[in-house]
Amino acid sequence: MAELELDSITKVFHDGDEEIVAVDDVSLTIEDGEFLVVVGPSGCGKSTTLRMVAGLESITSGAIRLGDDVINDVKSQDRDIAMVFQSYALYPHMTVQENMSFGLEESTGLSDDEIGARVEETASTMGIGDLLERRPDELSGGQQQRVALGRSIVRDPEVFLMDEPLSNLDAKLRAQMRTELQRLQEELDVTTMYVTHDQTEAMTMGDRIAILNEGELQQISSPLECYHAPANRFVADFIGEPGMNFFDVDREGDELVSELFTYPLSDWMVDDLGDTSELVFGIRPEDVSLVDVASAEHDFEAVVEVVEPMGDENTVHLHFAGHPDSSIVASVGGLQNVSQGEELAAHIPEEAIHLFDRQTGKVLHNRRLDSEEAVDATL
């Protein structure tokens, strides 16, 4: 087991005369035994990063260290890294047994008996002990997924890499495998780098998550931190479903002014903002509460457009009164009765707002976490 360190790695692809920077100066460290989820929209460079770690792509600049060794120029087959692919990439002409033995045969000097024993042991841990003689095309998708995992685990590698391994499963199986993967990873305690575009997987599985966009690392921290204290507007937008509401605002003294509303700030807020006056105002839908009439200074009149009942909660799409083109989303309890066309007020608590620099996207102020109860109380 070892620590995996990415030190300012960059990947440039060439397409004709054009250079495409797929991964741009990404540095991060995965602690020994840590489960890091790399997440980002498609095309953000997450898979390329993973493939550079695997040795399947060359590194344009920067260094990758495994333990104390730089592995930039170590061939894939010598890196002692196992990878689970989106397509599972099982060898179709081999039985499950052979699929799982292959890596051990190629990368270790173990005897056939030892290999057999290890394969059987791993297979039974994975619950595929009775499938050993079957070929991949005789297996269900979930079983193939297990075999692919088993094939990686049996090698007992330094690092696990997983490239969207669950995306080919149906929703239910995916949820089930998510938990199982977490359990396995904890048991095995192997450094793991897990790539996904699915934020649910990112939030639920990782010890930490790394968020990439356009090849650049946006933030790396625990899931909750990413959620509540995003480093920039992109992270705030990307994490969370439904996504954060954003409004362009200008700060005028101790007020935030947009064409939709004017939002007075308390003194403790003003201090955080420094000189920047062009801002983006952000508020998560669950932090918006709906009240009958605008009674406080952070209440704004709004009209309900659509209500999407989800059972435990309702997602409510509204627009500010007098601004039919505007839009704000609120998540409210499933039992709160809201109907289309209803005129009411949206309460946007000051404790819960995020403010970003409109130019750089960087966060200037994140919500206060200790005011959680206060928010709830207003409901």
| CA dist., res. 38 & res. 205, Å (int) | 11
Closest CA to 198 of 214, 180, 211: 211
Stretch that binds another protein, among 55-63, 126-134, 249-257, 262-270 (CB under 8 A): 55-63
Residue among 42, 111, 295, 337 that touches another protein (CB under 8 A): 42
Q: Closest CB to another protein among 13 and 268? A: 13
Using CB under 8 A as the binding rule, whether residue 271 contacts another protein is answered as no
Least distance from another protein to the Cβ atom of residue 188, Å: 17
Tokens of 258: 């947009």
Least distance from another protein to the Cβ atom of residue 157, Å: 9
Residue among 31, 32, 60, 110 that touches another protein (CB under 8 A): 60
| CA dist., res. 292 & res. 303, Å (int) | 11
Using CB under 8 A as the binding rule, whether residue 215 contacts another protein is answered as yes
C-alpha neighbours within 13 Å on the C-beta side of residue 367: 28
Is the CA virtual torsion 157, 159, 161, 162 positive or negative?
Answer: positive
Least distance from another protein to the Cβ atom of residue 183, Å: 23
Pattern 66-105, binding to another protein, x per CB under 8 A? ---xx-xx-xxxxx-xxx-xxx-xxxxx--------xx--
Closest CA to 239 of 254, 226, 253: 226
Closest CA to 121 of 84, 157, 154, 155: 154
Closest CA to 254 of 311, 297, 304: 297
Least distance from another protein to the Cβ atom of residue 23, Å: 7
Query: Which amino acid is it at 97?
Result: Q
| Neighbour tally for 319: CB within 10 Å | 16
Q: What SS3 class is residue 123?
A: helix
Tokens of 56: 């399947």
Least distance from another protein to the Cβ atom of residue 24, Å: 7
Residue among 1, 58, 186, 296 that touches another protein (CB under 8 A): 58
Stretch that binds another protein, among 38-46, 200-208, 286-294, 342-350 (CB under 8 A): 38-46
Q: Closest CB to another protein among 143 and 289? A: 143
Using CB under 8 A as the binding rule, whether residue 106 contacts another protein is answered as yes
Cis ω for the linkage preceding 309 (within 30 of 0):
no
Q: Closest CB to another protein among 122 and 314? A: 122
Window 136 to 195, contacts with another protein (CB under 8 A): 151, 155
Q: Closest CB to another protein among 104 and 265? A: 104
Least distance from another protein to the Cβ atom of residue 128, Å: 17
Q: Closest CB to another protein among 7 and 372? A: 7
On whether the CB atoms of residues 227 and 233 are closer than 8 A, the answer is: no
| Neighbour tally for 123: CB within 10 Å | 23
Least distance from another protein to the Cβ atom of residue 35, Å: 19
Q: What SS3 class is residue 238?
A: helix
112-125 vs 96-107: helix crossing angle, rounded to 10? 130
Using CB under 8 A as the binding rule, whether residue 46 contacts another protein is answered as yes
Using CB under 8 A as the binding rule, whether residue 22 contacts another protein is answered as yes
On whether the CB atoms of residues 261 and 300 are closer than 8 A, the answer is: yes
Give the interface with another protein as residue ranges (CB under 8 A): 7-8, 10-25, 42-48, 51, 54-58, 60-63, 65, 69-70, 72-73, 75-79, 81-83, 85-87, 89-93, 102-103, 106-108, 151, 155, 214-215
